[in-house]
Amino acid sequence: MLHYTVIFFVLALVAALLGFGGIAAGAATIAKFLFVGFMIVAVLTGVKHLAADAS
C-alpha cells in the first residue's frame, strides 16, 4: 500500500510540474487516502503485536 502512495505522490508532482492541475489534485487526493489507510493498518498491526506479546 505504501508503494502505491509513493507512486501517486510522484504522479501528482510530475503532473503539477507539467501544469495538469486536475490530474495533480486527483493523484494527490488518492495518495493522501492511501497514506492514511497505510498508517491505520500500521497502527493496528503494532497494537495487535503488542497485545500478542502481553499475553
Total domain count, the chain: 1
Per-position DSSP letters for 1-55, written without gaps between them: -HHHHHHHHHHHHHHHHHT-HHHHHHHHHHHHHHHHHHHHHHHHHHHHHHHHHH-
State the average pLDDT over residues 30-36: 88
Q: Which residue has the higher pLDDT, 24 or 48?
A: 48
Q: State which residues form the domain around 41.
A: 2-54
Query: Are the C-beta atoms of 5 and 31 separated by less than 8 Å?
Result: yes
Question: Mean pLDDT for the chain?
Answer: 85
> Is the pLDDT at 55 greater than 80, yes or no?
no
pLDDT in tens, 4-19: 878 888 888 888 888 8
Closest CA to 38 of 11, 13, 7, 14: 7
> Is the pLDDT at 41 greater than 70, yes or no?
yes
